[in-house]
Amino acid sequence: MNTPDPDGLLSEQLLRLTRRLQRIQKRHLVPIGITPAQSRLLRTLAHYETPPRMADLAERLEVVPRAVTTLVDGLEAADLVRRAPDPTNRRVIRIELTDAGLKALGELRGARRAAAEDILAPLDAEQRAQLGVLLNALFDVPDVRRC
């Protein structure tokens, strides 16, 4: 006899929600002309006081440096970022937002708000608050692997 696996069901629900989030996010980013990964890089760039190196971005995004190179190439082709030499070390290249990149960030904020509203529409204010508490509990858990 099979016993229900509540953690397995919850895991499947989370995976389905993740796919739904990705679909909704992509739909809202299409008019801006960027991918979710490019969106994440732009938002990350906005948090730096001085333009970061690609290695800094790779570390912050938790990806390999080659992935950042590909993202920067695409964003640079769209004139949203530019590579700039470091004023103190000519071997270092920094990544900075262009004026068009700053404008795209504003559009991203609107797209993210619209996507969040689509995603959260079924929930009332109290349920949204509960979801926030639950998600914070999941994020605050140390990354410990169990055998």
Record the tokens describing residue 10, joined without a space: 């919850």
Q: 81 forms bridges with which residues in the sheet?
A: 97
How high is the pLDDT of residue 90? 87
The one-digit pLDDT tens for each residue of the chain (147 residues) are: 566 677 888 889 999 999 999 999 999 999 999 999 999 999 999 999 999 999 999 999 999 999 999 999 999 999 999 999 998 998 999 999 999 999 999 999 999 999 999 999 999 999 999 999 998 888 876 665 554
